[in-house]
Amino acid sequence: MRGLIGTLLLMLASGWSAAVGQDANTRTVNSILPHCIAGLAADAQDVTGGRCAGIIATLSFVSRVLPDDLKFCHPSTATPEQMVQVVAGFVDSNPESVAQDFRLVALAAMRDKWPCQD
């Protein structure tokens, strides 16, 4: 199980999307966040929004098994929409993050919002 999680994290944190033809600039908060809400709709046709939803879902799935310095403990009732709102709020408070990798900023936002209580 840890091997699978490690592989997922490696794919998430690495430039795996670059291997399928994605440019580094298309992974930034600035390029993905505007599409996130559109991508969460049931009938979404927005590919970038779908990428956002996939990133959020993956982070949510692995959140509690991440190493202590990366994990976050969101409520089980947190919806994808709420998670995207958390990321958007974090970006509003940290405007320098717009040029950073969306995956890392989303992780930081959720860790900031939902730290685990030990």
Is 77 inside any structural domain?
A: yes
- Which position has the higher pLDDT, 83 or 117? 83
Average pLDDT (41-69) is: 85
C-alpha separations of 67 from 5, 58, 64, 109 in Å: 11, 15, 8, 16
Q: What is residue 3's predicted lDDT score, i.e. its pLDDT? A: 52
Tell me whether residue 107 is in a domain.
Answer: yes
What does the pLDDT average to over 81-101?
94
Quick one: pLDDT at residue 23?
54
Boundaries of domain holding 90: 2-17+25-113
Q: Does residue 39 lie in a domain region?
A: yes
Looking at the structure of the chain, the number of domains it has is 1
The mean pLDDT value for 102-106 works out to 94
Phi and psi based region of residue 21 (left: phi greater than 0; alpha: psi -120 to 50; beta: remaining): left
The reply to whether 118 falls in a domain is no
Statement: residue 107 has pLDDT above 80: yes
Query: How sure is the predictor about 62, in pLDDT bands with cuts at 50, 70 and 90?
Result: very high
> At residue 52, what is the residue type?
C
- Whether 13 shows a pLDDT value over 60: the answer reads no
Q: Compute the average pLDDT of residues 69-85.
A: 92
